[in-house]
Amino acid sequence: GDSVTQMEGPVTLSEEAFLTINCTYTATGYPSLFWYVQYPGEGLQLLLKATKADDKGSNKGFEATYRKETTSFHLEKGSVQVSDSAVYFCALYSGYSTLTFGKGTMLLVSP
């Protein structure tokens, strides 16, 4: 079945540091890949997505590239801010009803 593996957190960074959150997946066919963000006390928000190999999703300074050869969709940001502190979920959709989520990675950014 489908599965998503994310690096365990928390990831603790200082403001303006470079961020990478690793995500790898297992899926049948050619899934679409997503990053969702959950700010404290809130629901999920779509951060970015990529629907085919080599696509790069980007939003709010975050980027992730769909790498079919390594089955990865790592999230990156060049300079994090305190307001980026949240839990980030990698997810895939392979056409069967709903998303398969990773366990989430908490990001803590200090001033």
Partner 1 sequence: GAVVSQHPSRVICKSGTSVKIECRSLDFQATTMFWYRQFPKQSLMLMATSNEGSKATYEQGVEKDKFLINHASLTLSTLTVTSAHPEDSSFYICSARTRANDNSPLHFGNGTRLTVT
Dihedral (CA of 5, 106, 43, 84) sign: negative
Give the residue with the Cβ less far from partner 1, 32 or 84: 32
Strands (E), 29-110: 32-38, 44-50, 56-59, 62-65, 75-77, 86-93, 100-101, 105-110
Give the residue with the Cβ less far from partner 1, 16 or 52: 52
Is residue 32 involved in binding partner 1 (CB under 8 A)? yes
Question: Contact with partner 1 (CB under 8 A): which of 1, 29, 40, 43?
Answer: 43
Q: Hunting for tokens 């700010």 — which residue is that?
A: 39
Separation CA 67–CA 33 (nearest Å) = 10
Closest contact distance (angstroms) between CB of 102 and partner 1 is: 6
Separation CA 111–CA 106 (nearest Å) = 17
Is residue 2 involved in binding partner 1 (CB under 8 A)? no
Is residue 57 involved in binding partner 1 (CB under 8 A)? no
Is residue 103 involved in binding partner 1 (CB under 8 A)? yes
Binding residues for partner 1, rule: CB under 8 A, are: 32, 34, 36, 42-46, 49, 51, 89, 93, 95-99, 101-104
